[in-house]
Structures are given as structure tokens and as C-alpha cells.
Amino acid sequence: MNFRRQTGYFMLLVPALLLFESCRREEPLPIGKHQGKQTTPVNPSALYPASFGAPFLPSDNPFTEEAMYLGRMLFYDPILSRDSTVSCASCHRQDKAFAQPTKVSAGIFGIQGNRNASALFNMAWQRALFWDGRHRRMRDLIFEPIQDHREMAMNIPLLDAKLKRTPRYKEWFARAYDAEPDVFHMSLAMEQFLLSIVSANSKFDRFFPRNLSVFTPQERDGFFFFNETPDDTIRPATGADCFHCHGGIHAQTIDPSVGIVNNGLDEVITDKGLGGITGRSFDIGKFKAPSLRNLSYTAPYMHDGRFATLEEVIDHYSDGIDFKSPNLSPLINHGNRHLKFTPAQKAALLAFLRTMDDSTLVTDPRYSNPFR
């Protein structure tokens, strides 16, 4: 195969831009102390790899070992649901990189939602959460699954009361926040745990930014194919041009103003995505381009879990883009013609994608169920 090699440098642009961003600043909280008397502070630089750029951390919820552990307990605790059967981890399974291996999620009483449960890692760099990017702050997002009648179907006063009468929470809310259990401090602790989940131990991390020697020849071909722009007049394509939406160390465009787009799945849109949030017709059909890390664990794929395998995903980008899809991203429309990858190009792309698997995330004891 003769892939052109110049465009791989785009991979370097995204993290370089990130370094110039400062940490996200939040308004200081009006009430409460938000820290216990004898907590053990955790320096974010001990959690996060420098290569990832500056994380977007709330300034009013400093990491402590106690609050992170409390957040982890709450994440795994089914008492957060109405009938104490469903925890966050029911849908966000560690062995699946915190995704759920079903098309759309199933929650309390077996009721199905309409979207595929997102994988959860490297969220400290996410500026828009959920498939449609409707949340910015983790502590606010948490209340949505807890109250959703299809997910955990809980109400807040009941949850507050349940937390207050659980002895382990009396102990741990005091340790972490010097406070009685309540849903506000609950959301802070869960925010800490979620923001602490990092996946940075893949072959791709050993490669980044340009140590090509870690790759097999096929992975290397896949890397170049992923990062090259096709010549729109030639078929099969000379490059697959994935990097515009999934490039850089995060394998994702994390700037929501350009990272929430339509990748051409359907002509007729049933789930409006971003358009359902903003109410604007030019946002209909736009979804967040997710990170392509850990794909071997996170099947099925897309916001509705329509593709069971990565082969199907690659076939979509090769032969399946729907050019009539409303608001189709211009970055994916190469002259209204399918790119038509060869079998060797598809195999190389797949091999490269698998270099972004991190087998330590799925067993890391820092994120595992503390009740076992």
C-alpha cells in the first residue's frame, strides 16, 4: 500500500492547542465547607498524564482521597435507585470501559432508554457531556440518570433520606466533607470519582506523538490511513480522514463547537441529537464524536448502538455515508462519493484502532466496585 505520509502531523495540533487552555474556572460555591477536617489531598498532576494537556477541573471541589472513595462507593451503590436494584455501574460496566454491551441502555424494571450508554474515561477533558453535549458540569449531570424514570427513577428527597440513614455514608460524608450525608455533597463526591477515571495506558500512548517503532507494519499503515486526507477524485481512497473528528491524544475533538457533528448515519432523523437541545434546525442529527479509545470493550457503537462490530463501523465510513443526511459534516463529504476502502485498508484501520485499547482500565482497582 502506498499511503501518503504528510498529514499525520495534524495529530499534533490538537494537544498543542490544549496546552494553551487554562483550567476551567467555576463560580465558588455559596455554602458549605466542601472539605473534611483531615482529608488527604490528591494532586491532579499525580492522576493525569502531561501528554493529555490541561484538564478542565472545577476549582471548588479539590480532589481528596476520601471524597474520591466516597464517590466511588456511590457510583456502585444501588441505593441510588428507587427500588435499590440499579447503580450507575449497572449501565457503566468497568469490564466494558464503563459502557454497556447492549444497543440501548436498560435500567430500572428492565425499561429501555433510547441511547447507547457512553463509555466513561478521560472525562476531565470533556467539555460537553452526553451524546448531544447537553451537560457541561459533572455534578449537574449526575442528577439526570438518578431521576430518569427509565434509569434509576429516584426522587431527590427520598434519596437524601436514604443516604442519611445509611451508616457507611454518615461515616464517609463526615470524613470527606465534614458534613451529614446530602445530595449536594453526593454530587461533589461523584464528580471527583468520575473525573479521576483516566485511560492512558495503551500502545497508542506509547506511540504518541510519533514513536512509530511501537507499531506493527499493519498498525502503522492504519495510523497513516486514519490521518490522511483523501484525494477526492481517486477511489479507493488514499486516506480515510478520521482525524478531523477523532484526532490527537484523546482520539476525539473535545472542543464542542466543532466536535458535535453529523457523520451521515441517516437520511431521516429520529433522534435529533444536538438539535433536540438547541431547537435549531441546523443542529438536527448532530452528535458528539466520541473518543476512539477502548473500542474493543465498548461495542455496540454510535448513539443508538446500531453497529455491533467495528467492521460495520468501518463499512459505514467506507461505503455507507448518507449524503442526504441533514447537516452532514463537510469534513466527511468527499465530493458526494463514498471513499471505498480496500480490504487491506480496512484491516489496517482496524489494527490501528485496536492500539488504543487500554487493558488496565477495565481492571484498575482504583475504579472497581468497593463493595466486593
* Closer to ligand HEC by Cβ: residue 166 or 178: 166
| Position 287 contacts ligand HEC (CB under 6 A) | yes
Size, binding site for ligand HEC by CB under 6 A? 52
| Position 73 contacts ligand HEC (CB under 6 A) | no
Q: Which position among 68, 97, 129, 186 is part of the footprint of ligand HEC (CB under 6 A)?
A: 129
How far is 41 from 204, CA to CA, in rounded Å?
A: 31
Contact between residue 41 and residue 64 where contact means Cβ atoms under 8 Å apart: yes
Q: Which position among 159, 189, 313, 356 is part of the footprint of ligand HEC (CB under 6 A)?
A: 313
| Position 107 contacts ligand HEC (CB under 6 A) | yes
Helix (H) or strand (E) holding 353: helix 343-354
| Position 184 contacts ligand HEC (CB under 6 A) | no
How far is 280 from 294, CA to CA, in rounded Å?
A: 33
Most distant pair of Cα atoms in the chain: their distance: 67
Grid coordinates given for 14: 490538537
Least distance (Å) between residue 210 CB and ligand HEC: 20
Residues 140-179 that bind ligand HEC (CB under 6 A): 141-142, 145-146, 151-152
Residues 229-268 that bind ligand HEC (CB under 6 A): 240-242, 244-246, 261, 263, 265
Beta bridge partners of 328: 262
Cα torsion at 287, 324, 247, 366 (round to 10°)? Answer: 30
Is-cis flag, bond preceding 209, omega within 30?
Answer: yes
Cα separation values, 99 from 87, 95, 259, Å:
13, 8, 20
| Position 191 contacts ligand HEC (CB under 6 A) | no
Q: Which backbone phi and psi does 50 adopt, to 5 degrees?
A: -60, -30
Site residues, ligand HEC (CB under 6 A): 75, 80, 86, 88, 90-92, 105, 107, 113, 115, 117-118, 120, 123, 126, 129-131, 141-142, 145-146, 151-152, 190, 194, 240-242, 244-246, 261, 263, 265, 287, 289-290, 292, 295, 298, 301-303, 313-314, 317, 329, 331-332, 349
